[in-house]
Amino acid sequence: MLAAIEAGGTKFVLAVGHASGAIAARHEIPTRTPEETLAEAASWIQSQGPVAAIGIAAFGPAQLDRNAADWGHILGTPKPGWTHCDIAGYFANRFEIPVGFDTDVNGAALGEYRLGAGRMTGGMAYITVGTGIGGGIIVNGEIVHGVSHPEMGHFYPRREASDRAFAGVCPYHGDCLEGLASGPAILARWGRNLSDLPDDHEAHGLVAGYLAQLCHTLFAFCAVECIVMGGGVMKTPGLLERVHASAQSLDNRYLPGGARHQIVSPKLGNDAGIVGALRLANASRNLSP
Amino acid sequence: MLAAIEAGGTKFVLAVGHASGAIAARHEIPTRTPEETLAEAASWIQSQGPVAAIGIAAFGPAQLDRNAADWGHILGTPKPGWTHCDIAGYFANRFEIPVGFDTDVNGAALGEYRLGAGRMTGGMAYITVGTGIGGGIIVNGEIVHGVSHPEMGHFYPRREASDRAFAGVCPYHGDCLEGLASGPAILARWGRNLSDLPDDHEAHGLVAGYLAQLCHTLFAFCAVECIVMGGGVMKTPGLLERVHASAQSLDNRYLPGGARHQIVSPKLGNDAGIVGALRLANASRNLSP
Ligand SMILES: Nc1ncnc2c1ncn2[C@@H]1O[C@H](COP(=O)(O)OP(=O)(O)O)[C@@H](O)[C@H]1O
Ligand SMILES: Nc1ncnc2c1ncn2[C@@H]1O[C@H](COP(=O)(O)OP(=O)(O)O)[C@@H](O)[C@H]1O
Ligand SMILES: [Zn+2]
Ligand SMILES: [Zn+2]
């Protein structure tokens, strides 16, 4: 049996299950202080019987470099008490088994790639459009890591000619993608969620166009075949179709492989992250401790 | 001994050498019809004594998918006679040894990553800014491949507020990056190469700003540590420094790992592609034929 933890800012999802993605038991707990939350998570896992490895998909920023002294730690975060929390070390010490560790969105990307919408594709990106905009990329069958993890929400899409006034809500960049098309950006600008605005409201086209630039740029840079788009904002009826149409028109049939490009919804739904964490657990068994 | 071919639109660079990047002999021939060019390349290689594998870094578009029936072929190209040319197959049949095959820019990226400016970095992109704008990305130690190869020159950077009139020269997209900042775009717009325009000419800031958006987006999407920028346009004095400053200001100290970001010139100079082809040859020895 493998254990999986999806460590979020408001709740921790816990599970035990198998590398196949099959979940044997599942449990959620609210996120409080690190001490309380990690102890409760550990007890629940322990109550499920012996496990061979633990996979953790955590909110970021997080230290993913296995050679760094602070591997497996949460880095500087506004969440009180969590900065420098050694989340991977806590479980490694307590259980003395291999621990896999990555970001929540990388975990979800891995889940969708191995067992969801990205199966059998030549590269996949998973994007979530919610409170923030972020994602993970799978290339050559592996999660993209570098000096850190991708932060895809913070590039600067080209503004529409009719839409240059809104300053955007990103505290770092103003009108980066997250500053223009995240849930809070939409709310700040138009006073409602995108699904609560009439079908012919300009917001639909603008948000779709900015998200389409993310997709087009991902196709151009990483040659991924499939982009999986989840998160609260993507629940807006028709949005996925608009993004797809707009990305195609940006490409103008230029990119090689473009006929195979897909923009789709997550197949694992809310389970992408926890299933990905099971895969992280499984993969950690082949890593040196 | 390994053989390497950098197959360009105007010339083929040939070499024999070692996986270390050491070149024992080197030769250039002009690109003519496939029949003439490939035959001359093969004879020269044969004249150098026995080789264990051949690496080819070819102009694109090219079929890189080893499972495709047309693996190793040039795809649709305006170069007369070369469309569907089975360049990898030609050498595989003639020499009956393993053949590695990738694009010219992916070859250059691999060369710089293993033996040049990208050594020991946590991910690297190689960009060339010349007649076109293109490049290759190395993530997790491997060349990024997907449904095809990256085409980084064709995303849409945000236009400067003072610079929205020029329509750009890309036949597919108008003012994509290549349409705005390639050598021909600069020439079409300002009548000269960038290095021949005065230091205080607006072109320097505009071109640097657009190229900086490419760099910033690459850092954000792929978390690469190092971006190596070559090609004719990058010979402009001061341009690399301007791109670097502009990319830093776009990031505004947001990206995790940003303190380690580098934007640098190629270390292997004109040898990046041929050295990369030696590495492709070496790597092909571990692949199934
Ligand atoms: N049905 C919906 N339609 C449009 N937007 C929604 C919908 N549900 C939630 N949102 C937006 O998505 C955001 C929450 O995103 P979600 O992905 O659920 O959470 P988080 O990003 O915090 O993990 C909210 O800010 C809200 O504006
Ligand atoms: N010293 C230079 N300064 C600025 N631009 C240059 C310089 N040399 C060449 N260029 C530009 O670079 C382009 C050629 O790029 P290059 O990388 O040498 O070739 P290619 O891209 O065809 O392989 C030309 O279009 C020219 O405009
Ligand atoms: Zn931002
Ligand atoms: Zn273009």
Contact present, B74 and B88 (Cβ < 8 Å): no
Q: How much is the average pLDDT of A208-221? A: 98
Contacts made by residues B39-44, CB under 8 angstroms, sequence distance 24+: B41/B5, B41/B12, B41/B14, B42/B90, B42/B91, B42/B94, B42/B95, B44/B14
* Per-residue model confidence (pLDDT) at position B286: 83
With a cut of 90, say whether residue A218 has pLDDT above it. yes
Does residue B60 form part of some domain?
A: yes
pLDDT bucket at A288, cuts 50 / 70 / 90? low
Ligand nearest to the CA of A130: 1
Question: Under an 8 A CB cutoff, do B220 and A150 touch?
Answer: yes
Does residue A111 form part of some domain?
A: no
Same domain? For A256 and A127 the reply is yes
Nearest CA to B247 among B221, B211, B222, B223? B211
Contact present, B233 and B181 (Cβ < 8 Å): yes
Does residue B124 form part of some domain?
A: yes
Residues of chain B with C-beta less than 8 angstroms from the C-beta of A61: 256
* Per-residue model confidence (pLDDT) at position B245: 98
Q: Which one-letter DSSP state was computed for residue A196?
A: G
Report whether residue A183 contacts ligand 1, using a CB cutoff of 6 Å: yes
Same domain? For A234 and A278 the reply is no
Same domain? For B92 and B179 the reply is no
Give every CB contact of residue B21 below 8 A, 6+ residues apart in sequence. Answer: B111, B114, B115, B268, B275, B278, B279
Same domain? For B162 and B197 the reply is yes
Does residue A109 form part of some domain?
A: no
Distances (CA, A) of A151 to B96, B142, B220: 45, 20, 5
Beta strands in B114-241 (DSSP E): 124-129, 133-139, 142-143, 226-230
Q: Which residue shows structure tokens 């999407």?
A: B221
User: What is the residue-level pLDDT of chain B in tens, covering all 289 positions?
Assistant: 999 999 999 999 999 999 999 999 999 999 999 999 999 999 999 999 999 999 999 998 899 998 899 999 999 888 899 999 999 999 999 999 999 999 999 999 999 999 999 999 999 999 999 999 999 999 999 999 999 999 999 999 999 999 999 999 999 999 999 999 999 999 999 999 999 999 999 999 999 999 999 999 999 999 999 999 999 999 999 999 999 999 999 999 999 899 999 999 999 999 999 999 999 999 999 875 4
Same domain? For B99 and B144 the reply is no
Give the position, in ligand 2's atom list, of the atom nearest the Cα of B231.
17
Same domain? For B184 and B63 the reply is no
Contact present, B142 and B64 (Cβ < 8 Å): no
Same domain? For B129 and B82 the reply is no
Please tell me the distance in Å from A141's CA to the nearest CA on chain B: 10
Residue-wise pLDDT for A32-54, tens only, equals 999 999 999 999 999 999 999 99
Kindly report the CATH number assigned to the domain that includes residue B216: 3.30.420.40
Q: What is the mean pLDDT of chain A?
A: 96
Helix (H), strand (E), coil (C) string for A241-271: HHHHHHHHHHHCCCCCCHHHCEEECCCCHHH
Residue-wise pLDDT for B138-186, tens only, equals 999 999 999 999 999 999 999 999 999 999 999 999 999 999 999 999 9
> B258 CA distance to ligand 1 centroid (A)?
29
Q: What is d(CA B246, CA B243) in angstroms, rounded to the nearest whole number?
A: 5
What size, in residues, is chain B? 289
* Per-residue model confidence (pLDDT) at position B287: 73
Report whether residue A185 contacts ligand 1, using a CB cutoff of 6 Å: no
Residue-wise pLDDT for A65-123, tens only, equals 988 999 999 998 888 999 999 999 999 999 999 999 999 999 999 999 999 999 999 99
Distances (CA, A) of A204 to A34, A80, A274, B180: 39, 36, 31, 29
Same domain? For A124 and A208 the reply is yes
Does residue A84 form part of some domain?
A: yes
Question: How open is the CA angle B144-B146-B149, to the nearest 5 degrees?
Answer: 65
Q: What is the mean pLDDT of chain B?
A: 96
Report whether residue B193 contacts ligand 2, using a CB cutoff of 6 Å: yes
Please say whether the dihedral angle defined by the alpha carbons of residues A159, A165, A166 and A167, taken in this order, is positive or negative.
Answer: positive
Question: Under an 8 A CB cutoff, do B216 and A254 touch?
Answer: no
Same domain? For B130 and B261 the reply is yes
Residue-wise pLDDT for B22-48, tens only, equals 999 999 999 999 999 999 999 999 999
Q: What is d(CA B92, CA A248) in angstroms, rounded to the nearest whole number?
A: 37
Same domain? For A237 and A124 the reply is yes
Assign A214 to helix, strand or coil: helix
CB neighbours (10 Å) of residue A16?
23
* Per-residue model confidence (pLDDT) at position B288: 54
Q: Where are the alpha helices (DSSP H) in A65-201?
A: 87-95, 104-115, 177-181, 183-190
Q: B157: which 2 tokens?
A: 């950077």
> A182 CA distance to ligand 3 centroid (A)?
10
Domain count, chain B: 2
The type of residue at B224 is V
Q: What is d(CA A185, CA A233) in angstroms, rounded to the nearest whole number?
A: 11
Q: A121: which 2 tokens?
A: 């594709």
Does residue A112 form part of some domain?
A: no
Residue B216 domain boundaries:
117-266
Tally A–B CB contacts below 8 A: 161
Same domain? For B123 and B97 the reply is no
Contact present, A61 and A72 (Cβ < 8 Å): no
Nearest CA to A37 among A100, A106, A87, A112? A87
Does residue B62 form part of some domain?
A: yes
Does residue B275 form part of some domain?
A: no
Same domain? For B10 and B60 the reply is yes
Q: What is the phi/psi pair of residue A262, to 5°?
A: -130, 145
Closest chain A CA to residue B127: A221
Assign B61 to helix, strand or coil: coil
